[in-house]
Each structure stands twice: as structure tokens, then as C-alpha cells.
Structure 1
């Protein structure tokens, strides 16, 4: 934070008003067993519901229900092809951790604690009994870090009961727990013509809507910060750029405000035709 204050005081002031446990991995509790700071899971789900946003509430709920039915079936098909103690995504991450384990050196205290040193001189204390490491990756992600994996290999070398390394991974990453999450199925429903009639005298009317010009927007409205970020990244903004007329080719105005004479304008001819005439490929 001190380095950030020297780099940008406004950013430092903005971050100090936000509790650290909401944005800094160093202050995460570990209860979620995840160090992800993104909302990609919600964004993907939200993207698939674009077609249901402009529909009536019952129709929109039916669209969501049918989508979830198909989503669960696709996951079940994928699960039937999986084999292993942990999920495929966890297996891919765990294999990378195993490769990094060879870079560590171990010093055992004779009990359940180890002193592990890495390539760059970083030294961490690992408590295998409490399943904790000073780097906190084991606590946050639920997977043994490279320091813990080095300790597991040292324990196996000293004839200690270690078992399969995947047994030290938190249960949230187990394939069995993933299957339990999707064991509940959504019940299919009959069509609207077979739904029971309601005896409630209250009649719900649609909200008043004023028709506006143009096609109705279906995408959600982006915030000012998001639009500013997109402009900086993709250079969409025309701020600071000089306008070029598409009719006469001069700068300082656009085609709509062009007052040049027709004889001096090049807009009466297409750009490709004008280039061919300049090369002399079109006879008089």
C-alpha cells in the first residue's frame, strides 16, 4: 500500500475506504475455499439469459427453467466421462503444483512442521497437522501449495503415512462432491394449457410503457467506468481526434456539414474508382 501511495495517491485513497477482506487475497478468510476475485460465473449465466429479459415474467422464468435443465444434463454427461478423485479443473491445477514442487528444499523439525525454501529465497513454514502454509495458498484454495507438496514427498520418503496426494485436497474439489451438487434435477412441466386456473380475484396488469423511437435495447446498460475502460482499451473514443470529411477529404468538418462545391468534392465518386482514375486505368 505504501508503494501504491507513492505511485498514485488517488488510487491509494480509494482503496483505503474499501475493507481489505473484499479485495485483497492476504485478508481472505478461506471459508470460500477460493481465491477468485472475478464474477465470470455470473457473467456467463447472465449472457445466456439475454433472450429472456424482454419477455413477461412467467415466460422468462420458463426460459430460465428450461435452460437450467439443459445445463444440468450437459454437466452430467461431462461427469460421466471423468475419472479420478478430484474434478478435471482441479486436476489440471494440481498437476502444475506438482511440477513446481521440485524447486523447493525441505528442513523437517521432527514433528508436523517443516521449513520450506524456494528458488527466490522465499521461506515458508508448513504445518501439516493444521494443513496450513505461510503463503496461505493452501488455506485460500483448498489445494496443497508447492511447499506442502514438497512436505508430502518428504513424509513419504521418511515412511510416514501419506496416502494419495489428492487426499490432502479440500473436499470441495472432489469429484464425488461435484456429483452431489448436480444430483438434484429440475422437474419438467406440462404446457400452459394444462396449468390449473387461479381463483385469485386480483388481476396483475402489465406496467405502463412509453414507446420510444428506435429498436428496444436488450443488452444491459454499462456503467460509466466500464465505458471509459473500453474506450481506453480499444481506443473507441474520438476525443482529441480531428474530423475528416468523407465527401471532400479535408479535416475540420464532416460530410453533413461540408460546404465545398461539387466540382472540388470527391464524394461523388467512390474511393476505388477515384484511385483507378488517378492511375489512368479508366479511359476518358
Structure 2
């Protein structure tokens, strides 16, 4: 392959040699300067003896050896940015483009240090990287096959670099809690340890409830608290206990969380006692609770809050139910019974279940209807949830954080809560409507269309608040002043039912004016009015003397 000259070339390292191309004996420099149409004879070029030296440039100085007296000197001219450099000509004599030898993806340079360096970058974006996925990443990204043991050791070192050593994080736990107190005053952040006679105490449990979360829950959320526990997936395991609320837009609202060694009556009693100190007494605020059938939680609840209404998640009752009864119609009857809003409706549904499967009826009779059926729920919370979805969503959102060491996990949880609160506040602070978006949608798309099938008749009272609402043979009574209906839906949810909306349409009233305040945009703004203050990294923490 021979390049084509684009113009006059500078002198590289000294005067250019006078070389003859072909039998004409014409100088190449003169040909470049004045005879642009002259094309050298390629046959003559191949017979030139100087071309026998492969990759040799047209410069005597470039090809000349460097003597010992030339040390520290250069044979090239000083670079000048104004000089125009031309192309250098060279020729490939022989090209071997076929490779028959096998390819080896191994490399002695791919040691643990090299793999660690590559994995540190990867772990910043994928903290839950598994060993098999890590090895595949090294092969796909760098075309290097590394021994699995080297990858395992490198992954462990990379994790310590990125998220820190787990043991070292326990040593800094008290410093982190002090930083939470400094940055977010009036928050509850405490830790308990187990004293050791001849060594430092061992970590036992930790509880965090930020001031913004406590205030926002009491000022803008409905008084139903979801309780749940989930496993931690770090080196030392443990359980994460959580207390969740629900804002006016039906988003889960974090109140408090704790790290405990296991889930039992004693740990739940400790958690509920601290939660009670943070939020206040049940008679004063009317707290209601909903939970799965956790170990020891029911016994702890009876000791800490004996008069509180405590619901059970119907989903967990149903999962245990279908282990014994496989018939599809029987399985659906559990949900039908749990959704009944009046006692008479529940009795009819249970009688239907008895006729369908008496064993299933006996199984459900073991449960107090007050913990799983809407007809027996308290009217205080203005929410008729029969499942503990607010806790289940929270556990799903934080699944990646639960794999990390304790300080990294706690800080990631706090940071996630802070971002979530800021996002909800930004989205809803300028919402034009009166109701929260989810509540307005429920009213417009589900309740109002169904209300047109019902006819309201004024009962004749002086205040014009009593109505008899009927559709064919069905009749219910509505009181617009006390905000009650025979169907019990208005009392349970705080949202006017289809019968109440029909009565309001009779009087030309807006249903939005009869919705409970806990379902309005003002309630959302109150819940997120207080922000979580920023927390510094451990470089700026004030160290404590306590272990």
C-alpha cells in the first residue's frame, strides 16, 4: 500500500536525500513543486533497492543510528504549529490476515487488584451485584476469564470500599444517631446494646423516627397505622420493623422503623412502646392498627395498647385458608365476606359460605369478625383497608437497601424517605382541586356514575338533611348533616357513597363539600409541610466516646 503525496513535505531532521525514481532520473522534490501531473512508474519503484527495507522513512537522519555522544539530544526539528506536515509514505510487503491459533481469554494481569478496581465502579450503580453476575460482567465487558475465587475475593474487597466494612459500621452507629439528633432536632434515634464483661458491648437494637415524619403523620394522615417486619439480608441478618401510615392521596407514609435481632413479643413490645411515646395515647388520637399475623405482635399490642382497634390483613388469612380449601368459589367467598359493610350483609355471606362448604365456614368462624370484616371496623380512621398494602409496598421499595450494612441501610432509608416526601410535596403543592387527586378520581369515575341509578326522596325534615334513597326494591336512609348512610360506606371511608351523592344531587349540592378533611389536598400539604433536614457524611460527624 502506497500513500499519495498531498503537497510539499517539511524537512524532518535534516536535508532530504536526492533519490531517483525510474529511468528518467527526475528529483522527487522538483516533481512535487512543479510537476504535479507526473506519476512515478510503480514498476520502477518496486526495483528500487532502498524499498527492500520495510517501514523505512525517506530521511537519512531518521534511519541513522544514535551514538553515545548524541544522548540527551533529538535528531528532529522543534515542533512548529505553523508548519504544514504532509503524509509519510510506507509500503506493506506481505499481509497475513488469517489466524489459525486458538484464543485464550485468560490473563495473568487480571489479578484481584485489577478486578477490584473494575468492580468498584460497577458497585456504585449496582450495589446488589451477585457473584455469578460479576463474573459474567468481567467476561462480557473486558473479554477476560478470571478464576471464580479471584472474583469472589475481589467482590468482597470492592464492597468494603464502596459501602464500608460491616463491623466498622457498627462502631459508628452511635455517631450516626447523634448526627441525626443534630440535623433533625426532636427526632427519636436511639440504640440499645448488650454489655459484655471483658469486651466492648454488642449491638442489640436500633429505633429511628424522624421529627418530620411524626409531625406530618399526626397533622395530615388518617389514624390507621400499619405494622410489619421483614428480613435483613446482610451478613448479620436481623429484622426491620416498620410503622406506616397513609396520606390523603393513598401513598404510604413512613412513621418509624427499627432494627432488631428477631421478631417476637419482646421486640414488638419495645417497638410499640417507643411508637406510643412518639405519637401519643390511643384514646387521645384514636389510633387504629393493621398488621399481618406476626409472631408475638398480637400479644404485645394487648399489653401496650389494649383498647386500640387492631385489624388483620385479609390477604394473609386467605393464604392460610387456601391451603385447606382449593375450590375457586370457596376461596373467593373469603373476600366477599370481608368486603361486607353491614352486619346483615355479612350474615348472609357467611350463610352462603356454610351452604357451599361447611368446613370453610367453621374455619372462618375461628376469627373475630372485628379484625377482618369491614362491617365491624371502627369509623375513626376513615379508611376501610382490609389488606396491609402500605407496608408491603414499603418492603418492596427498600429490598435493595436491606442487603447493606446497618449504617448504609439506615442512611439509604432516610435519604429515600426525604426524596419521596419532597417529590409528593412538589407534585401536589399547586394542585388546583379541593380533593387529593386519587380521591377526586374515585368520586368522579366510580361514585358519581353509579349514583345516577338511585332516586332520592326528601323525608320532610326542617333542616332538609334526611333522605330516603331507593333503586327498585332497595332502600337506604341518608343523613347529610351527620354524614351517615345505612350502607355504612360513608362512615368507613369519609367519602360520600352513591346514595349520599344521589341525595346531594337532589338538593343541588356538591359532593366535594361533604368529603372528610383527611382526604383533601390541605391534608396532603399538612403531611409534608415539615421537611427532613440534610444529614452530613461521616467525615463531618462529631465522634462520641460511648461504644
Of 374, 384, 392, which aligns to 1:43?
392
Aligned to 2:485: 133
**TM, length-normalised to structure 2:** 0.34
- CA deviations on 1:2-53 (whole Å, 9 max, x unpaired) are 2111212232222212111211111112212112212222222111211221
Of 63, 67, 70, which aligns to 2:416?
67
CA deviation after TM superposition for structure 1 residue 81, in Å: 4.9
What is the rounded CA distance, in whole Å, between the counterparts of 2:397 and 2:420 in structure 1?
11
What is the rounded CA distance, in whole Å, between the counterparts of 1:136 and 1:176 in structure 2?
25
Q: Which runs of 5+ in 2 are unaligned?
A: 1-349
What is the rounded CA distance, in whole Å, between the counterparts of 2:524 and 2:357 in structure 1?
43
Matched pairs, number: 194
Q: Could you tell which deviates more after superposition, 86-95 or 39-48?
A: 39-48
Larger strand fraction of residues: 2
- List aligned pairs for 1:229-248, cutoff 5 A: none
> Does residue 1:151 correspond to 2:497, yes or no?
no
- List aligned pairs for 1:118-267, cutoff 5 A: 118-119=471-472, 121-156=473-508, 162=509, 164-200=510-546, 202=547
What is the rounded CA distance, in whole Å, between the counterparts of 2:474 and 2:375 in structure 1?
16
RMSD of aligned alpha carbons: 1.5
Aligned to 2:453: 103
SS in 1 for 2:523: helix
CA deviation after TM superposition for structure 1 residue 145, in Å: 0.9
What is the rounded CA distance, in whole Å, between the counterparts of 1:37 and 1:107 in structure 2?
33
Q: Could you tell which deviates more after superposition, 4-13 or 64-73?
A: 4-13
Q: Which runs of 5+ in 1 are unaligned?
A: 157-161, 203-284
- CA deviations on 1:110-169 (whole Å, 9 max, x unpaired) are 1132111125x321011122110001111111111111111112223xxxxx4x421100
- List aligned pairs for 1:47-58, cutoff 5 A: 47-58=396-407
**TM, length-normalised to structure 1:** 0.65
SS in 1 for 2:452: helix
What is the rounded CA distance, in whole Å, between the counterparts of 1:10 and 1:197 in structure 2?
63
Q: Could you tell which deviates more after superposition, 69-78 or 5-14?
A: 5-14
CA deviation after TM superposition for structure 1 residue 55, in Å: 2.1
Aligned to 1:32: 381
